[in-house]
Amino acid sequence: MKLKINNLHAQIEDNEILKGLNLEIGPGEVHAIMGPNGSGKSTLASVLAGNDAFEVTEGSVDFDGKDLLEMDADVRAKEGLFLAFQYPVEIPGVSNINFLRAAISEIREYHGQDAVSAKDFLAMVKEKSALVELDGKLANRSVNEGFSGGEKKRNEIFQMAMLDPKLAVLDETDSGLDIDALRIVANGVNAMKDGKRSFIVITHYQRLLDYIVPDFVHVLHNGKIIKTGDKTLALELEEKGYDWLKEEVV
């Protein structure tokens, strides 16, 4: 998997949020994106996943040789991009399992593969829900309905494990999690590292990066990446905050 973001500009309702963002991600790499509130972190995640609410005005995103921005959101998922939502949506009446089954069927069909059997599917559900210690009962409930904050986030990672993406974008998956839930989520992510799958981990806090160790740490400010370093940069940010960087840029 290779992702190349070049000079990406995006806006929502005439309000430009991404202002020329550049980022390259290679196979098996874990990139952390940090930055203060309003810097554009979640916008980046939404734009990559294909949320129509955001308009890309300039720039390009190359995803394994294909133009990502030309694809509809579902096609991006079919091509192997996964977004773990910061705020997973509750969908009453749609069962977690049925919707995942439908998603996997569509993805397999897209790749010309046979449908997965009910038996294999259920075995997979069992295995992957164990990975994030998600109660089997939750898998049968309506999507995220009545889930606690931690359960929602674990459900995101469970879905990621089920869909087996090439690139996973985790949008503030750690927010609102206590330390136990954080550990469970991180273990789930780490179990999916295979040297090929890549991750973009968006977070406010260095805490998560103790568990999911990044290869690169980027600081996003005012719609651009203003600094890139290794995991020690996250520690430095934790200690000093973002202001010194902002001043450096100015």
Partner 1 sequence: MEKIIDIQSDKKEKFLAPFDNQQFPVLGAMSTLRRSEARAALDSIPLPHSRQETWKYTRTGKLINAVWNISHKANEVAIDDMKISGLDCYHLVFVNGHYSPTLSDNLTLETGLEVCPMSQCDGDKAAFADRLIQKNENSNAHLFNHFNSAYWTDGLLIKVDANTEIGKPIHIIHKTVGTNSASVFRHVLVAEKSSKVKVIQSFSNGGGSTYNNVLTEAWVAENAQVTIDKIQAENAEGITIAREDVRQESNSTFHINTITASGGFVRNDLAIVVDGENCMTNLYAAYAPQGKELVDNHTVVDHKKAHCESNEAYKGIVYDQATGVFNGKVFVRQDAQKTNAFQQNANILMSDSATMNSKPELEIYADDVKCSHGSTTGQFDEEAVFYLKARGISDKNARQMLVQAFVGDVLDELDDEVRAHVGSLLRF
How many residues in the shown chain lie near partner 1 by CB under 8 A?
32
Angle between helices 118-131 and 96-110 (to 10 degrees): 110
Binding partner 1 (rule: CB under 8 A), the pick from 6, 22, 51, 222 is: 51
Are the C-beta atoms of residues 11 and 55 closer than 8 Å to each other?
yes
Here the tokens at position 36 are 């203060």
Within 8 A by CB and 6+ apart from 112, the residues are none
Of 152 and 218, which has the nearer Cβ to partner 1? 152
User: Residue 24: helix, strand or coil by DSSP?
Assistant: strand
How many other CB atoms are there within 10 angstroms of residue 229's CB atom?
Answer: 16
**Residue 89 contacts partner 1 per CB under 8 A:** yes
Of 103 and 213, which has the nearer Cβ to partner 1? 103
CA 95 to chain CA centroid, Å, is 22
**Residue 40 contacts partner 1 per CB under 8 A:** no
Binding partner 1 (rule: CB under 8 A), the pick from 3, 33, 44, 100 is: 100
Are the C-beta atoms of residues 17 and 217 closer than 8 Å to each other?
no
Q: How far apart are CA 83 and CA 159, in angstroms?
A: 10
Shortest spacing between CB 228 and partner 1, in angstroms = 27
Q: How far apart are CA 211 and CA 233, in angstroms?
A: 15
Q: How far apart are CA 230 and CA 213, in angstroms?
A: 10
> Among 16-24, 45-53, 57-65, 189-197, which window interacts with partner 1 (CB under 8 A)?
45-53
**Residue 92 contacts partner 1 per CB under 8 A:** yes
Of 163 and 209, which has the nearer Cβ to partner 1? 163
Binding partner 1 (rule: CB under 8 A), the pick from 33, 34, 47, 49 is: 49
Binding partner 1 (rule: CB under 8 A), the pick from 70, 72, 127, 248 is: 72
Q: How far apart are CA 229 and CA 139, in angstroms?
A: 39
Shortest spacing between CB 1 and partner 1, in angstroms = 16
Of 32 and 107, which has the nearer Cβ to partner 1? 107
Q: How far is CA 20 from CA 52, 54, 99, 223, 224, in A?
A: 19, 15, 36, 7, 6
Binding partner 1 (rule: CB under 8 A), the pick from 94, 124, 192, 235 is: 94
The DSSP letter of residue 165 is -
Q: Going residue by residue from 118 to 147, which x/- string records binding to partner 1, judged by CB under 8 A?
A: ------------------------xx----
Of 32 and 143, which has the nearer Cβ to partner 1? 143
**Binding interface with partner 1 (CB under 8 A):** 49-53, 72-74, 76-78, 82-83, 85, 88-89, 91-94, 99-100, 102-104, 106-107, 110, 142-143, 159, 163
